[in-house]
């Protein structure tokens, strides 16, 4: 994934659950072999991406 709705999500991936009604966004931290799930939310209106962007901005 790269730019989604104006949010830079380079290095993140997505999968779907519950007949594509739920979106799970994650990234792989290779040096520790860890998969970090950064957001789970309804697919409607890209709301999960907005939540993720807010959380990532707070971390900086």
pLDDT (tens digit per residue) in 9-50 = 888 888 888 888 888 888 888 877 888 888 888 777 677 888
- HSE toward the beta carbon, residue 37, CA cutoff 13 A: 8
Determine if residue 5 is left, alpha or beta; phi over 0 gives left, psi from -120 to 50 gives alpha, anything else beta.
left
Q: List the domains of the chain with CATH numbers.
A: 3-59 (3.30.2310.20)
pLDDT given for residue 46 in this prediction: 73
pLDDT given for residue 55 in this prediction: 81
CA 25 from centre of chain? 3
pLDDT given for residue 30 in this prediction: 81
pTM of the full structure: 0.63
Q: Is the pLDDT of residue 60 over 70?
A: no
């Amino acid at each position: 994934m790269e730019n989604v709705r104006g949010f830079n999500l380079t290095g993140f991936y997505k999968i779907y659950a519950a007949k594509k009604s739920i979106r799970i966004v994650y990234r792989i931290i290779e040096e520790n072999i860890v998969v970090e799930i950064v957001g789970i939310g309804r697919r409607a209106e890209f709301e999960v991406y907005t939540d993720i962007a807010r959380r990532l901005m707070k971390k900086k």
